[in-house]
Amino acid sequence: MKQVRYALLTTITFLVFFVVAFQQQLTNVVASSLTPLQIAEYINHERLAKDIPPLALNPQLSQAAYLKGKDMLDKNYWAHFGPHNETPWQFILKSGYDYVYAGENLAKGFSSAYDIVSAWMASPKHRENVLEPEFKDIGVAVLRGNLRGEYVYLIVALFGATIADRPLQRKAIPALAIIFPEDGAILKEGIVNIRAKGVNLNPKFVHLYVDKVFIKKLQPLKKEEFVSELSLPSGTHTIAIRATGQRHEPLLDFVKVAVANAAKVEKQKDYYKSGISVSLKDNLLKLDTPNVLSFKTLYMRVDNVIYKIARFPYTVELPYVPQKDLSLHFVVETASGTQLEFDKVVSVDRSSVLAGRIGFINLSGPYKTVFVGLSAMFFLLSFVALIIALKGSHHLIWDVLAADLLYILVLVLLNVGFVTV
């Protein structure tokens, strides 16, 4: 019995230790993705995207943000103004920041800097503070504690500008951007050349990250330009670069890309290419598939005209009857998001073309009337010429034969394509 009791106590002790350790580990993981620097970086990313100068991290504003957050936790309130009329501005002045413009954004319950800034950008009032051109500095504090019975992360961001701030000259505004690859690009597996541009950086280098893991420090290849080779496995990846501006503005830019296995891409391309059957009869181009092809979007280009194909079978009525083989260019986005491009050639039925030119199958309106009338007239003249020849009168036969030859010449020209109707 004692052994069972000891075993139970040991198990319970182990479980308690495991839960505490797991909670502490989870706290460390969440905290590592939620820092004042990261929040400031995402804010500056939004400002630079709108051609607005980035904000510098200011230690005095950061101290004021911490004091404001601590005051909310101590007095258990969640508002811009405290229960005793405490204002954000008194914390700013207490920190020694002599402001002429100031603003405050609050957030709680978030676990990543990206989600916080995205929420602020979705709120008109918070968005105004993030994108206000008058603000030059920012201070951010991240606190964790019990607020109104809920154990949460509390985020305070204070924006400001002092009397000493002068309008920045355009050339002094720092900027950071990834030039290649573009956001949302689909790349083939292997070596990728990363190209970025950084303006007015201090120090003059950038840090390269892939999926939040630091890769290397990049020195400028030439003025303001950074280049690096990067090997990416298949899957979805976030490529990010970080740097600092002349006034210690934290700068960030990032792109999300999908990397596909090269052999897999070619296999998928062959599957879709062979899975689409194309036929041409006269001016009707018909597409079908013996298989069930799944795709997000499918486009076909014919003679610089683009058709969006929603389902099969699909028919295109061309404005003309093709006289030679048609080249079709397809662009398909698969259900997994991979974009594939391939070409198919559809052959023209030569017998149909010949019948169309000589038998008037594809002629209509006045053209058909004229050519049918000429055919009947020349047939009648040929018959009359034959009767005249049999009766021994040969003086008109050469004129009739010349007219017949002219008609035959017209048919030959139509057949070889010199004359089209």
- Please indicate, yes or no, whether the overall pTM of this predicted structure exceeds 0.85: no
Are the beta carbons of 294 and 301 closer than 8 angstroms?
Answer: no
Place of tokens 């023209």: 348
Q: Is the pLDDT of residue 166 over 80?
A: no
Place of tokens 């079978």: 313
Give per-residue pLDDT as tens, 275-325: 898 988 888 899 998 777 788 888 898 887 888 888 888 999 888 888 888
Place of tokens 């083939």: 188
Instruction: For 80, list phi and psi in degrees, rounded to 5.
Output: -70, -30
Cβ-based neighbours of 344, under 8 Å, separated by 6 or more: 273, 276, 278, 327, 328, 330
Most confident of 138-147, 327-336, 385-394: 138-147
Q: Is the pLDDT of residue 127 over 90?
A: yes
Instruction: Out of 26-40, 172-186, 266-280, 326-340, pick the least confident.
Output: 26-40
Helices (H) and strands (E) in the chain, counts: 10, 19
Q: Is the pLDDT of residue 203 over 60?
A: yes
Q: Is the pLDDT of residue 140 over 70?
A: yes
Cβ-based neighbours of 185, under 8 Å, separated by 6 or more: 255, 257, 258
Are the beta carbons of 282 and 290 closer than 8 angstroms?
Answer: no
User: How do 206-210 and 235-244 pair as beta strands?
Assistant: antiparallel
Can you give the pLDDT at residue 16? 36
Query: Of 396, 311, 321, whose CA–CA distance to 353 is shortest?
Result: 321
Can you give the pLDDT at residue 45? 94
The percent of residues above 90 in pLDDT, for the chain, comes to 24
Mean pLDDT of the chain: 78
Alpha-carbon 277 to chain mean position: 30
**Neighbouring-strand partners of residue 307:** 300
Q: Report how far apart the first and last C-alpha atoms of the chain are (Å, whole number).
A: 105
180 versus 378: the higher-pLDDT residue is: 180
HSE-up (13 A, CA, CB side) for residue 336? 13
Distance CA 146, CA 74 (A): 9
Distance CA 320, CA 333 (A): 30
Q: Is the pLDDT of residue 417 over 70?
A: no
Distance CA 89, CA 78 (A): 16
Q: Within a 10 A sphere around the Cβ of 367, how many other Cβ atoms?
A: 12
Determine the average pLDDT of the residues in 215-239.
86
HSE-up (13 A, CA, CB side) for residue 30? 16
Can you give the pLDDT at residue 335? 74
User: How do 213-218 and 186-188 pair as beta strands?
Assistant: unpaired
Query: Of 217, 272, 208, whose CA–CA distance to 241 is shortest?
Result: 208
Instruction: For 368, list phi and psi in degrees, rounded to 5.
Output: -65, -40
Distance CA 220, CA 224 (A): 6
Q: Is the pLDDT of residue 350 over 60?
A: no
Can you give the pLDDT at residue 136? 92
Can you give the pLDDT at residue 385? 66
Q: Is the pLDDT of residue 72 over 50?
A: yes
Determine the average pLDDT of the residues in 37-56.
93
Predicted confidence band of residue 47 (pLDDT cuts 50, 70, 90): very high
Can you give the pLDDT at residue 235? 82
Can you give the pLDDT at residue 191? 74
